[in-house]
């Protein structure tokens, strides 16, 4: 409905009229974004995927290939991908959008340059990514992909996505080309957990390696073993055991006193290992720190926790969700809540259980996945756990536990420039946390594709404080046993048990070197 003005040509008087319009009077914009991938297309269609760590992407590729799909994991997005994203994407997007969209366009353009026509690319390729309803621009990823692909000359290219709350999109009519049976889901889960185990081992050993590059070689070999097991349906236990031998051959010096830095924040920004976060993991190691990265399995645990909390709260909304006969608390209108809670509970149990099986076989000791109920408990007084977006309350809980449980000496929260959910937490709520916990060394940084020098400078200033902290802890051990610190470090360096790269000293503080001093002094 609207008002329009007109003039009577005879009297020149102004008149107003009310115009009532219906939806049928307008051609509303919509984005078709073709996503159909049917079973008959599977034989000639290559599935493209990217977005996690290099190890996880490799294992997911192996799981798809082992299930009979043609799968290609894209390279880690770089600044060239960012350029493509900014060239073909809308303005005002966040880094994950630019990098991931640009990374896909970059790969397709390289195919076209090699002689593959755009028509064949559209027909024979499909991209799978992660989607969300968002409260942020993450929820518009599919539209951004569609717009960039159309402008780059690949109109009609299919993009499907894993919706975090609904699973995988399904097609109507013909049977879907994505057949996620129990065996395939099991292999995917194994790949994700194994990726977390290998990443944790690599980041734990690499700062202390005697010969630079040995850990990376062991990591590369281990990925090959596990990919072979996934792709060819071989023993996963044997693959993990062979990986253990690779890491066990790395020579280490655990007498080095290095602060442990925990990287948290927006999921993509803290997970990627390239230009998207200024290669933070490698930069921190080069600056003399041990890095603790967040496991992908923890994100799955968080989603399971959210789903459980939502179902339990909805049970109390009798005015909205009507129960079954007799008002049973185990039913909602059209929902078998008992079954849903049981499935979620099984998932909550299965992920840590599988991790506990894989970790010791590969040689990862003293490492536990986070307890999401504990994370929610410690963060609830500072951040409402019903608020969703980004990592929600999880980022708050991680910082508190890092300080209270002495899990890390410094916490670095990384997120894209202008990321609404993460910025509200890092720049707002976390200020209160650092007041309550004055020992916390917390640094929030934003990534935009440029400005690396400024980011590195800020990190170096805070890292200097963390280095002072661990040095004081080491001096305290030296004073306690009345032995010079340099002599204590020599004892650790020459101890056969400490020379085992898979050895893990009992936890007293966050610093690995100081824990070694406690154990062997």
pLDDT of 1 over the 90 cut: no
The reply to whether 382 falls in a domain is no
Segment among 45-49, 164-168, 418-422 with least mean pLDDT: 164-168
pLDDT band at 319 (very low <50, low <70, confident <90, very high): low
pTM of the model: 0.86
pLDDT at 135: 53
Last residue of some domain: 116, 151, 167?
Answer: 167
Give the chain's mean pLDDT: 85
Count structural domains, the chain: 2
pLDDT at 325: 43
Q: How far is C-alpha 461 from the chain's CA centre?
A: 26
The reply to whether 233 falls in a domain is no
348 Rama sector, left if φ>0, alpha if ψ -120 to 50, beta otherwise: alpha
User: What confidence tens digit (pLDDT) does each residue in 174-194 have?
Assistant: 567 777 777 778 888 899 999
Nearest to 265 by CA among 384, 95, 129, 110: 95
Mapped onto helix, strand or coil, the DSSP state of residue 447 is strand
Burial class (CB in 10 A: 0-12, 13-18, 19+), 320: exposed
φ, ψ (nearest 5 deg) of residue 495 = -75, 125
The number of C-alpha atoms within 13 Å of 173 and in the hemisphere containing its C-beta is 4
Nearest to 489 by CA among 255, 258, 259, 257: 255
pLDDT at 432: 86
pLDDT of 35 over the 70 cut: no
pLDDT of 513 over the 90 cut: yes
The reply to whether 224 falls in a domain is no
First to last CA, the chain: 82
- Mean pLDDT in residue range 153-158: 91
Question: Residues 198, 226: contact at Cβ < 8 Å?
Answer: yes
pLDDT of 315 over the 90 cut: no
Question: Residues 442, 408: contact at Cβ < 8 Å?
Answer: no
Same domain, 274 and 411: yes
Mapped onto helix, strand or coil, the DSSP state of residue 75 is coil
pLDDT band at 67 (very low <50, low <70, confident <90, very high): confident
Same domain, 266 and 140: no
Last residue of some domain: 143, 167, 191?
Answer: 167
DSSP at 184: H
Query: What tokens were used for 305?
Result: 């926790």
CATH number of the CATH domain containing 415: 3.40.980
pLDDT of 497 over the 90 cut: yes
Same domain, 418 and 269: yes
pLDDT of 92 over the 80 cut: no
pLDDT at 9: 47
The reply to whether 348 falls in a domain is no
pLDDT at 6: 45
User: What confidence tens digit (pLDDT) does each residue in 403-457 have?
Assistant: 999 999 999 999 887 677 677 676 678 888 888 888 899 999 988 877 889 999 9
pLDDT at 165: 42
Same domain, 412 and 281: yes
Last residue of some domain: 147, 167, 187?
Answer: 167
pLDDT of 136 over the 70 cut: no
pLDDT at 72: 93
> Which structural domain range is residue 54 located in?
39-167
Q: What burial letters (b/e) apply to 36-55, b meaning 16+ CB within 10 Å?
A: bbeeeebeebebbbbbbbbb
- Mean pLDDT in residue range 292-296: 95
The reply to whether 367 falls in a domain is no
Distance, in Å, from the CA atom of 502 to the CA atom of 362, rounded to the nearest integer, reads 9
Segment among 12-21, 55-64, 403-412 with least mean pLDDT: 12-21
pLDDT at 320: 54
Same domain, 399 and 266: yes
pLDDT of 152 over the 50 cut: yes
pLDDT band at 4 (very low <50, low <70, confident <90, very high): very low
CATH number of the CATH domain containing 77: 3.40.50
Segment among 132-141, 302-311, 411-420, 434-443 with least mean pLDDT: 132-141
The reply to whether 362 falls in a domain is no
The reply to whether 453 falls in a domain is yes
More confident position, 510 or 18: 510
The reply to whether 229 falls in a domain is no
pLDDT of 492 over the 60 cut: yes
- Inter-CA distances, 400 with 46, 159, 289, 300, 442, Å: 44, 39, 20, 21, 11
């Amino acid at each position: 409905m609207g008002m329009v003005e007109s003039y009577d040509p005879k009297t020149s008087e102004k008149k107003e009229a009310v115009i009532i319009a219906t939806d049928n009077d307008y051609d509303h914009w919509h984005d078709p974004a073709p996503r159909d991938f049917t079973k008959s297309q599977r034989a000639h269609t290559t599935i493209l995927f990217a977005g996690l760590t290099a190890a996880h992407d490799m294992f997911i590729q192996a799981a798809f290939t082992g299930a009979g799909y043609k799968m290609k994991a894209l390279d880690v997005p770089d600044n060239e991908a960012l350029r493509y994203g900014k060239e073909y994407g809308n303005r005002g997007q966040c880094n994950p959008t630019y990098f991931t969209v640009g990374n896909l366009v970059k790969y397709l353009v390289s195919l076209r340059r090699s002689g593959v026509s755009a028509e064949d690319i559209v027909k024979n390729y499909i991209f799978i990514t992660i989607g969300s309803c968002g409260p942020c621009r993450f929820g518009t990823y599919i539209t951004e992909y569609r717009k960039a692909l159309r402008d780059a000359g690949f109109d009609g290219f299919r993009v499907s996505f894993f919706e975090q709350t609904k699973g995988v999109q399904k097609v109507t009519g013909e049977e879907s080309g994505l057949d996620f049976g129990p065996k395939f889901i099991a292999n995917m889960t194994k790949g994700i957990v194994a990726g977390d185990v290998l990443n944790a081992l690599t980041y734990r050993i690499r700062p202390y390696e005697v010969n630079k590059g040995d850990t990376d070689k062991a990591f590369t070999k281990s990925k090959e073993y596990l990919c072979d097991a996934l792709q060819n349906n071989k023993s996963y236990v044997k693959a993990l055991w062979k990986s253990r031998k690779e890491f066990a051959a790395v020579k280490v010096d655990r007498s080095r006193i290095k602060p442990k830095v925990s990287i948290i924040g927006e999921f993509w920004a803290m997970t990627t290992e390239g230009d998207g976060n200024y290669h933070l993991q490698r930069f921190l190691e080069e600056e003399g720190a041990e890095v603790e990265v967040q496991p992908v399995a923890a994100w799955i645990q968080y989603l399971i926790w959210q789903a459980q909390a939502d179902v339990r709260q909805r049970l109390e909304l009798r005015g909205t969700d009507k129960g079954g006969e007799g008002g049973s608390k185990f039913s909602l209108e059209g929902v078998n809540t008992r079954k849903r809670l049981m499935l979620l509970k099984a998932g909550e149990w299965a992920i840590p259980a599988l991790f506990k099986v894989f970790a010791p076989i590969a040689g990862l000791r003293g490492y536990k996945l986070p307890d999401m109920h504990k994370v929610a408990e410690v963060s609830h007084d500072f951040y409402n756990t019903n608020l969703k977006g980004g990592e929600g309350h999880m980022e708050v809980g991680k910082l508190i536990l890092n300080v209270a449980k002495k899990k890390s000496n410094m916490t670095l929260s990384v997120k894209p420039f202008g990321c609404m959910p993460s910025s509200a937490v890092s720049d707002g709520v976390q200020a209160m946390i650092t007041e309550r916990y004055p020992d916390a060394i917390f640094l929030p940084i934003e990534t935009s594709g440029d400005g690396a020098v400024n980011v590195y400078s800020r990190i170096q200033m805070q890292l200097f404080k963390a280095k002072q902290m661990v040095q004081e802890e080491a001096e305290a051990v030296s004073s306690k046993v009345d032995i010079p610190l340099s002599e204590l470090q020599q004892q650790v360096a020459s101890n056969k048990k400490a020379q085992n790269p898979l050895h893990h000293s009992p936890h007293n503080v966050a610093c690995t070197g100081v824990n070694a001093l406690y154990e062997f002094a």
